Amino acid sequence: NAGVTQTPKFQVLKTGQSMTLQCAQDMNHEYMSWYRQDPGMGLRLIHYSVGAGITDQGEVPNGYNVSRSTTEDFPLRLLSAAPSQTSVYFCASSYIRTGGGNTIYFGEGSWLTVV
Amino acid sequence: GNSVTQMEGPVTLSEEAFLTINCTYTATGYPSLFWYVQYPGEGLQLLLKATKADDKGSNKGFEATYRKETTSFHLEKGSVQVSDSAVYFCALIRGGSEKLVFGKGMKLTVNP
């Protein structure tokens, strides 16, 4: 019962460094997404994907890249970390069904600090 | 556009108190509505959901009813416990989309 797995759980980066947050799901979900959570802001969508080879931008995409080479994996890359990217990051996945109401499953979060 | 407005708190209650967290939404079409909960140091868990007007979602003693006429999805629990201390997020998905739109979250602390 792995569900959505994110790594690492905690990371400290220096300004300008790059890193990749990993996300994997074992439920054969078509839809995967990345959110960031900031105090008083709720969760905001960074990027999403509706299937392998297809990605698109969400509400706050600047400074982040994604790719979706397989159904299972959806890594989030920070190319040059900035203190403004200090946040908690959540990966999520779901089936795509007409009519809405799909349950979206979240990973446990990755706490990132950029100093 | 689509948006969710919820009580932001923080709120502190005593054990066994009644809880209401207000949530209203703006959306095109007929969205599905959700409450997610985040316990300290953990990720988000789906608490309950409703997919059409007048549906009532319920779980762990929490309830919320989809009110189309007032565009609301208020969360209620009759008697909170210390273990209910968490951050609660109201969210919606617009019909035909998989993108969740979240409220800002409300931190609840329940004291013994």
Look up residue B47 and give its amino acid.
L
Whether the CB-CB separation of A25 and A72 falls below 8 Å is answered with yes
Say how many C-beta atoms besides its own lie within 10 A of residue A17's C-beta: 14
Helices (H), chain A: none
What's the pLDDT tens digit per position in A22-45?
Answer: 999 999 999 999 999 998 888 999
- Computed over every residue of chain A, the mean pLDDT equals 93
Q: Average the pLDDT over B12-38 and give the result.
A: 94
Mark yes or no for CB contact A104/B51 under 8 Å. no
pLDDT exceeds 80 at position B85: yes
Q: How far is CA A60 from CA A7, A57, A84, in A?
A: 21, 8, 12
Contacts 24+ apart (CB under 8 A), B47-53: B47/B75, B47/B88, B49/A101, B49/A103, B51/A99, B51/A100, B51/A101
Q: Average the pLDDT over B81-106 and give the result.
A: 90
B3 and chain A: CB distance < 8 Å anywhere?
no
CA distance A86 to A112: 5
- Computed over every residue of chain B, the mean pLDDT equals 93
Task: Name the region of B29 (left: φ>0; alpha: ψ -120 to 50; beta: rest).
Answer: left
pLDDT exceeds 70 at position A99: no
Mark yes or no for CB contact A96/B98 under 8 Å. yes
From the number of C-beta atoms within 10 Å of its C-beta (0-12, 13-18, 19+), residue B10 rates as exposed
Q: Average the pLDDT over B25-37 and give the result.
A: 91
Which pLDDT belongs to residue A101? 65
From the number of C-beta atoms within 10 Å of its C-beta (0-12, 13-18, 19+), residue A65 rates as middle
Task: For residue B87, give the nearest of B33, B30, B11, B17 by alpha carbon.
Answer: B11
Nearest CB to A90: which of B31, B44, B96? Answer: B44
B97 and chain A: CB distance < 8 Å anywhere?
yes
Mark yes or no for CB contact A99/B100 under 8 Å. no
Which pLDDT belongs to residue B99? 85
* DSSP assignment letter at A83: G
B51 and chain A: CB distance < 8 Å anywhere?
yes
Q: Average the pLDDT over B90-106 and give the result.
A: 87
Mark yes or no for CB contact B43/A109 under 8 Å. yes
Which pLDDT belongs to residue A98? 65
pLDDT band at B25 (very low <50, low <70, confident <90, very high): very high
Mark yes or no for CB contact B51/A99 under 8 Å. yes
Task: Determine the distance in angstroms separating the CA of A103 from the nearest CA of chain B, rounded to an integer.
Answer: 8
pLDDT band at A1 (very low <50, low <70, confident <90, very high): low
pLDDT exceeds 80 at position A97: no
Mark yes or no for CB contact B95/A42 under 8 Å. no
Nearest CB to A100: which of B4, B51, B102? Answer: B51
What's the pLDDT tens digit per position in A41-94?
Answer: 889 999 999 999 999 999 999 999 999 999 999 999 999 999 999 999 999 999
B53 and chain A: CB distance < 8 Å anywhere?
no
Please report residues of A whose CB lies closer than 8 A to that of B4: 42
Place of tokens 């953990």: B42
